[in-house]
Structure 1
Amino acid sequence: MGKTIHKLINETELFAGLADGDERAFETIYRHYSKRLFPYVLKLLKVSELAEELIQDIFVQLWVNRQVFADVEYPASYLFSIANRQSLKYLKKVASDARILKRITDLTEPSSNVTEEQILLRESAAAIDLAVAQLPQQRRIIWELSRNEGLSHEQIADRLGISKNTVKNQMVHALKHVRHFLDKRSGLLTGLVIIALTNNKL
């Protein structure tokens, strides 16, 4: 009683119906799997609001690309692989887009139900700011142009009148400094920031 059923009785038929555009099949799949995916995505993203939004996006894309399920042998596993891929894709953006990081910290502002993870996330964001402030001037400017303004290495090179290779090298050193700074303060560093920084593409 009260436990989530781990497999839909007519799962194969439902996913076949989804592939054919059956809206009722889609609704049944959504009700069942959104509940199963939520704790999995939440474990990766750490913030419930973001997990809920990502799951909504996953199911929107699921409906748009529903025809693929006509050939998927294990649809449940496929759904979790989509959730994992989309979560990691989002996490990678965190380290490269200060606006996203700010949005995450805004979502975790103090409330009557503040969790330890939310506090750690805010403190991690503040720690990143401290680490960046310690960078040499040119390296800090390059970091901010890349992370805050979203400029490419080529665009930064043009703006600062330096080579693209110099920009890349400065970003490598900046990232190493930030990661080292955070490693020394591991109590502040959440899994989200670790993954984001580790997987961020320079």
Structure 2
Amino acid sequence: MIIYSAHTDQDLITLLRRGDHDAFTEIYKRYWSVLYLHARHMLRQEDQARDVVQEVFTAMWNKHAQFELTISLNAYLYKAVRNTILNIIRHGKVQENYLADLGDFIDQEKVQTDELVRYNDLKRLIEREILNMPPKMREIFEMSRKEGLSHAEIGERLGISDLTVKKQVSKAVTMLRKKFKIPLATLIILLRILP
């Protein structure tokens, strides 16, 4: 009788590749709780965290015959959870909690690889939306955000009224809020930490 709990992760992966469902069950038991806690911490939603972990394990079983690791099983599973969550974010299914946590992370300067990757992904998404704005709106918004110019300074530089500048900045912020479904305070934090 095989005692699966006594096997190393590598032994379990070898058995998994052969289609050993008990080896898969042992991996599941070994890692489900910590992955769930990790996902819940990132998402702040229990049901969604459960779904993410379930999706990761389902994908693992579905490709068990071709399953190859170049990193530890632990690192692979954490990375898979992170990537699944990033896909959810890209599709607009995560709202304020994740973004607020990201702002807190930047404020606390806890630079760790996974968080930095998530930050960079979110930054790229926001930058892409800014690039998709109408040209005049984008120009005004970037002068406000990147150069830190006041509405009056932008108006003077572009030969338009302060009110026009204010309306364009307001429209740009509204577009970003709608796209990412986040409150104004969170968006301001994100725009402040973007270069």
TM-score by length of 1: 0.47
Q: Which one has the largest radius of gyration?
A: 2
